[in-house]
Amino acid sequence: VSALLGEEDEEALHYLTRVEVTEFEDIKSGYRIDFYFDENPYFENKVLSKEFHLNESGDPSSKSTEIKWKSGKDLTKRSSQTQNKASRKRQHEEPESFFTWFTDHSDAGADELGEVIKDDIWPNPLQYYLVPDMDDEEGEGEEDDDDEEE
């Protein structure tokens, strides 16, 4: 998840106080992720939500809260301007703002971030909170550490 966060995203997420995942009645109904924020210099919303469900035709779809950005603080716009200046080549690997996730409804069935939050982070938040920052490459093979205690 940290690969999705720019420096400004991290600043904004310092105001995040709570995350809740609500699974609806049956698996077809989907789930909602609510992000609760304190008063902050970036946007007016106290809660940002994104909901995933199957539409009438059975295809995955999503909807989310419209972020009410404060003047000059829209991190989704600043992100794309900064990237265009930094690199003339457009690369799909460039991280967008985390907050772009709330406006991207293009492929709800392939929304990895929503699935990671619901299935991994939500049930086991401490394993993410207590792990020190490290590059993805360095982190590979960590799961073998438990075997060494023989």
Query: Can you give the pLDDT at residue 56?
Result: 82
- The amino acid at 73: K
Q: What is the CATH number of the domain that holds 19?
A: 3.30.1120.90
Tell me how many degrees the CA angle 122-33-100 measures, rounded to the nearest 5: 110
Report the domain count for the chain. Answer: 1
- 56 domain-assigned: yes
- 74 domain-assigned: yes
- 111 domain-assigned: yes
* Host domain of residue 90: 2-130
Over the chain (150 residues), the average pLDDT of each successive run of 10 is 76 94 82 96 97 85 94 80 48 66 78 82 73 50 46
- 80 domain-assigned: yes
Query: Can you give the pLDDT at residue 131?
Result: 59
Query: Can you give the pLDDT at residue 123?
Result: 78
Query: Can you give the pLDDT at residue 142?
Result: 45
- 96 domain-assigned: yes
